[in-house]
Each structure stands twice: as C-alpha cells, then as structure tokens.
C-alpha cells in the first residue's frame, strides 16, 4: 500500500522585489515588481507504507516546501498529493490525527512550561487519553534518555533535549506518517545518534512511514535504504542509496603500499590521478573510474608495490560534490 503519492506537485512563490535605494523604494510604491520563485517544480514520487525515505538536497532545493505541502500547511500552485488517501491541504480532521511534521529549525513546544506540561497540552489538543499519554511519554523519554528532564522548562533544555521533547510531542498521537525536517540539525553527536536509534526503532516497531530530510549523511546512511534527491525544485534521483555510487561516482580511491612511496614526486604521479595522501610507505590516488585498471597495471610495473587496495569514494563526498555541482550549474 502506498502511504504517500505525489504527482506533478508544484509551488511557486510570488515575492515582492524591492528595488535598491530610496528612489527604488519610492518607485516601488507605484510599480511593484514581483518575482516568481519556483520552489518545487513538477515533483513526482511515492512512498510505501512503513518505508523510511531520505529526502536530500542542498539549501533552497525545495525540501521544506514539499514537506509543508504534504503536511497541509501550504497550498500547491498545481499538482496533486495523497497521504494515507487524504489530500493534505484539505486539512481533514481525519488526516490531522494521522500524521506529524517536525521542523528542526522551529520550536513547537511552549517555551515557558516544563516539558511535561507542554506535552500534556499537546495531548489535550489531540484528545489523547491520560494513561496512553503517560505510557508513551514514559517509554519515549526513556528511549531518548530525557526522562529526568521532563520537569525542566523548555527554554532551559539544551537543543538536543528540546529536539527529543519535540519528537515525543510529534509522536504522542501515534501518527502513521511522519515528516521530519532536519530533526538532528545542530545537535551534538551523542544526541544525533540517540535520535537516529530512536527513529530506527520507531520505524521498525510501529511501521511508521517516515520522510526525513537531514544534512548529516550519517543519518541518511544509517536509516534510509532509499533516497529521493531534489535540486532547484526538481527531483533528479530516486533510488537506493547504494546506486548513487554507481550513477554519480566518477572516481575510485587506489591505495598502494610500497617502500619509498614518497620518493616519486607528486607531479609525476599526476598522470594517474590526484594524489590524496603520500607517505614513505603508501600512496593514495583518486583515479577516474574507467582508468582504474590501466593505472593499477602501470603502478605495479613502475613501483615496488607490496599491496594494492581499491575503494569507492565515500558516499558523503559524492553527495557533497553533487550539491556543489548543482550550485555552480545555476538554475537550469
Ligand atoms: N514563503 C516563501 N516565500 C518566498 N520564497 C520562498 C518561501 N519559502 C521558500 N521559498 C523559496 O523556495 C525555495 C525552496 O525553499 P525550501 O523549500 O525552504 O528549501 P530547502 O528546505 O530545500 O532548503 C528557496 O529558493 C526559498 O527561498
Ligand atoms: Mg529546509
């Protein structure tokens, strides 16, 4: 069963462009100049029930806008989406009770209340029964290691603790679909790991469908088998994370062990590839994929090689390069 179906989803923002300077401001009073930004352009994808999909893209790619449409916070300019059979922006009560949106960059809890009371207010809004509430809060705060922070004012929690409380708040009504927009942004490494483990556990035990955006590749690599990549509002990859290497990795890393590896000047190694590391006993080169075999042959011929190792470039680096490429390509 499909939990999320997105067809031709498009969102254009029309923003007022203020001309520079005072004269510009005066002119602007009479002739307003508008600019249309296509935040999301003809996006199509679908997610199976229970899937945990990574939604990736550089800043400004259209991720948050897409999630906000799927959560019914924004109307699309055109296109359609169904989540659990509902059209999100119709804002049916039946839908509201079955999904949650967590915005990592925004605070959704009451700042001036202890965390527990803030959670209680959320429970009241959703009409969640007392014992169910107590059980969920106890279980989740334990898993997230914030049980002893429930009586602390939200404003006094650390960012990591607050985000964990936000996560509990988002899950109180046991949503079937969860949209997570940068839930680990700015968190310390330990909290990031805790949140990741929690999400993995939650997805596995509750079969919650999760669409997750994150800038941390560790989140994506540990949680998502499938990723959807968006850039300039359009999707350019939808598939298994491991396929990204096949599709987009132009290089492999070749490491050789050889005595006196630092005696060969880097300049003369340039014909094989870029020297990544050179020590007295080893040499690491970034080599074009299609040249790996001939380069290995040549190295074996020319140097006293005792061992050779060929690895893929880490996926993190490939994604970083993809995004960098997107930026310099401009809006095409
Ligand atoms: N309310 C808005 N008004 C005008 N432009 C917006 C608005 N929200 C987002 N945008 C623009 O839409 C594009 C996509 O933004 P966003 O969805 O936030 O990207 P991401 O979450 O991938 O970083 C950006 O160019 C952003 O500036
Ligand atoms: Mg965003």
Give pTM, 2 decimals. Answer: 0.86
Q: What is the pLDDT of residues 170-205, one digit of tens each?
A: 999 999 999 999 999 999 999 999 999 999 999 999
Give me the mean pLDDT over the 137-165 stretch. Answer: 97
For each of the domains in the chain, give its residue range(s) and CATH number, in order of start: 2-8+42-245 (3.40.50.300), 250-312 (3.30.70)
Share of the chain above pLDDT 70, in %: 97
Q: Is 151 in the pocket of ligand 1 (CB under 6 A)?
A: no
Q: Which atom of ligand 1 is nearest to the CA of 61?
A: 22
Whether pLDDT at 15 is above 90: no
> 61 alpha carbon to ligand 1 midpoint, in Å?
7
The answer to whether the CB of 92 falls within 8 A of the CB of 109 is no
What is the residue with the minimal CA distance to atom 25 of ligand 1?
60
Three-class HEC string of the chain? CEEEEEEEEEEEEEEEECCCHHHHHHHHHHCCEEEEEEEEEEEEEEEECCCEEEEECCCCCCHHHHHHHHCCCCCCCEEEEEECCECHHHCCHHHHCCEEEEECCCCCCCCCCEHHHHHHHHHHHCCCCHHHHHHHHHHHHHHCCCHHHCCCEHHHCCHHHHHHHHHHHHHCCCCCEEEEECCCCCCCHHHHHHHHHHHHHHHHHHCCEEEEECCCHHHHHHHCCEEEEEECCEEEEEEEHHHHHHHHCCEEEEEEEECCHHHCCHHHHCCCCEEEEECCCEEEEEEEHHHHHHHHHHHHHHCCEEEEEEEECCHHHHHHHHHHHHHHHCCC
More confident residue, 157 or 314: 157
Q: Mean of the per-residue pLDDT values for the chain?
A: 92
Task: For the chain, give the longest Cα–Cα distance.
Answer: 77
Which band of pLDDT confidence, cut at 50, 70 and 90, is reported for residue 330? very low
Q: What is the pLDDT of residues 202-252, one digit of tens each?
A: 999 999 999 999 989 899 999 999 999 999 999 989 999 989 888 888 899
Ramachandran area for residue 260 (φ above 0: left; ψ -120 to 50: alpha; else beta): left
Of the listed ranges 29-33, 105-109, 269-273, 296-300, the one predicted with least confidence: 29-33
- Beta-carbon neighbour count of residue 42 at 10 Å? 14
pLDDT for 309 = 96
- Please list all protein residues whose beta carbon sits less than 5 angstroms from ligand 2, which is an ion: 63-64
pLDDT for 327 = 56
Which of 197, 207, 210 is closest to 143 using CA atoms? 197
Give me the mean pLDDT over the 151-166 stretch. Answer: 96
Whether pLDDT at 331 is above 50: no
Which of 16, 19, 10, 68 is closest to 43 using CA atoms? 10
pLDDT for 22 = 76
Whether pLDDT at 332 is above 50: no
Whether pLDDT at 27 is above 80: no
Q: Is 79 in the pocket of ligand 1 (CB under 6 A)?
A: no
pLDDT for 107 = 87
Q: Is 15 in the pocket of ligand 1 (CB under 6 A)?
A: yes
Share of the chain above pLDDT 90, in %: 76
pLDDT for 328 = 52
What is the residue with the minimal CA distance to atom 4 of ligand 1?
13
Q: Ligand 1 pocket check: which of 11, 13, 104 to mutate, most ligand atoms within 8 Å of Cβ?
A: 13
Whether pLDDT at 260 is above 80: yes
More confident residue, 64 or 21: 64
Which band of pLDDT confidence, cut at 50, 70 and 90, is reported for residue 46? very high
Q: Is 65 in the pocket of ligand 1 (CB under 6 A)?
A: yes
Which of 36, 40, 44, 37 is closest to 6 using CA atoms? 44
Give me the mean pLDDT over the 277-284 stretch. Answer: 93
> 76 alpha carbon to ligand 1 midpoint, in Å?
13
């Amino acid at each position: 069963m499909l939990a999320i179906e997105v067809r031709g989803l498009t969102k254009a923002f029309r923003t007022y462009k203020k001309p520079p300077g005072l004269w510009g401001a005066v002119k602007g009073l009479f002739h307003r100049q508008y600019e249309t930004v296509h935040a999301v352009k003809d996006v199509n994808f679908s997610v199976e029930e229970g899937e945990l999909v990574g939604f990736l893209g550089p800043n400004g790619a259209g991720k948050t806008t897409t999630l906000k449409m799927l959560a019914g916070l924004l109307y699309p300019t055109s296109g359609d989406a169904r989540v659990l059979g509902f059209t999100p922006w119709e804002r049916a009560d039946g839908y509201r009770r079955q999904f949650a949106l967590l915005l990592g960059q925004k605070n959704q809890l009451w700042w001036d209340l202890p965390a527990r009371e803030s959670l209680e207010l959320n429970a009241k809004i959703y009409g969640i029964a007392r014992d169910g509430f107590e059980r969920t809060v106890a279980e989740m705060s334990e898993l997230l290691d914030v049980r002893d922070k429930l009586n602390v004012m939200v404003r006094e929690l650390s960012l990591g603790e607050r985000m964990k409380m936000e996560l509990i708040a988002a899950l109180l009504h046991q949503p079937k679909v969860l949209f997570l927009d940068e839930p680990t942004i700015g968190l310390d490494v330990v909290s990031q790991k805790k949140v990741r483990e929690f999400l993995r556990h939650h997805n596995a035990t509750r079969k919650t469908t999760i669409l997750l955006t994150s800038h941390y590749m560790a989140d994506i690599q540990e949680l998502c088998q499938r990723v959807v990549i968006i850039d300039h509002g359009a999707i350019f990859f939808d598939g298994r994370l491991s396929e990204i290497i096949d599709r987009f990795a132009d290089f492999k890393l070749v490491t050789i062990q050889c005595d006196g590896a630092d005696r060969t000047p880097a300049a003369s190694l340039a014909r094989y590839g870029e020297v990544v590391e050179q020590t007295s006993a080893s040499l690491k080169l970034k080599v074009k994929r299609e040249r790996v075999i001939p380069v290995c042959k040549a190295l074996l011929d020319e140097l006293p090689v005792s061992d050779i190792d060929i690895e893929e470039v880490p996926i993190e680096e490939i994604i970083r390069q993809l995004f960098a490429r997107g930026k310099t390509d401009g809006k095409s």
